[in-house]
Amino acid sequence: MAGFTYCHGLSVNNSRMQPTLASRIMAPIAIWVFYIMSLHINSAAPATQTKQKYSFNKLQKRIRRNVGKAIDDFGMIEDGDKVMVCLSGGKDSYTMLDVLMYLQRIAPISFAIVAVNLDQKQPGFPEHILPEYLQSLGVDYRIVEEDTYSIVKDKIPEGKTTCSLCSRLRRGILYRTATELGVTKIALGHHRDDMLETLFLNMFHGGKLKSMPPKLVSDDGKHVVIRPLAYCTERDIEKYSTTVEFPIIPCNLCGSQENLQRQNIKMMLQDWNKRFPGRIESMFRAMQNVTPSHLVDKNLHDFKAIKATGEAQPEGDIAFDAPEFEPESRPDTADSINIVNLTE
């Protein structure tokens, strides 16, 4: 067939193009292929969105369940309470307010919420963000304006960490505000990882086995402070905050460096979490299962009074046996959410 070439099923004449039998067969097939591909492309986005929504719902349920359990376990909120939610503009306090407002709607008890932010007059602080956000939520709030920034800068030499003095000033102002508002509970946004970091900070640098308690009486003896995020991980909070798109306010406006010792502890725990999955969860469980008789604090346990009774002790020591440990494992991430009775 001189004078003809074949190109993709078309018989091509130098002077005239005519469709071959193959082209007439392939054309409808090609149309169906393109149609099916277009359906796949169009359906890919909704499928991805559905998966992301499902993942977020699991995350939201887990955070809400953990906050509800912490409130129930430690009796953080009672019927008739007025809770002052300390709002800094960071991911933790935003998440805490969000979950507490949810629990306020569904809990079998009645409690009030007032969000409080301390405007310390740091340079570049976006004063409009929090009022606009809180107004959009319809929550009761107060913005307290105190120029602690100038005081700290005047007292602390250039280049030194200002966090300690700033924290003391902030705490005093918040306690005073709590009294003015007549609140019964002060809610702070510290989470599980903060509590673990503090435990190691005190062990390594303070010689104390001490962490952040989920509930305590303030140092002035007038207020009860609670930490509803005590069972929540920083990772979950960060994911939740990013997805919800809270209007985050930077925490470094004062120009101070984060506590270097705490930062080192944080990196150590993050490294352990990568190399030894489940270790962080095990350490936090240990904070909830303390056996004073197996430590060496004579103020917690009367070692001098120990005497052999001749009877087996249920919690007695097996001094010569090797300790047995359960294998490290990932935390439970069940999807279900339990609505706890906060009055019990």
pLDDT at 125: 85
Residue in this structure with the two tokens 């149309």, named with its chain if needed? 31
Q: Does the domain at residues 55-118+155-297 carry the CATH identifier 3.40.50.150?
A: no
For residue 138, what are the contacts with CB-CB under 8 A and spacing of at least 6?
none
> C-alpha dihedral over 70, 73, 79, 85, to 10 degrees?
-30
pLDDT at 153: 72
pLDDT at 254: 57
pLDDT at 124: 82
Q: Does pTM top 0.85 for this prediction?
A: no
pLDDT at 168: 80
pLDDT at 170: 84
Q: State how far the Cα of 266 lies from the Cα of 262, in Å rounded to an integer.
A: 6
For residue 230, what are the contacts with CB-CB under 8 A and spacing of at least 6?
70, 74, 190, 191, 192, 195, 214
**pLDDT tens series, the chain, 344 aa:** 444 343 444 444 444 445 555 555 555 665 655 655 655 555 555 666 777 777 999 999 999 999 999 999 999 999 999 999 999 999 999 999 999 999 999 999 999 999 999 988 888 889 999 999 999 999 999 999 987 777 777 666 676 666 666 678 888 899 999 999 999 999 999 999 999 999 999 999 999 999 999 999 998 899 999 999 999 999 999 999 999 999 999 876 555 555 678 889 999 999 999 999 999 999 999 999 999 989 999 999 999 998 888 888 776 666 656 666 666 555 544 444 444 444 44
pLDDT at 44: 53
pLDDT at 110: 97
Q: Where are the domains of the chain?
A: 4-39, 55-118+155-297
pLDDT at 133: 97
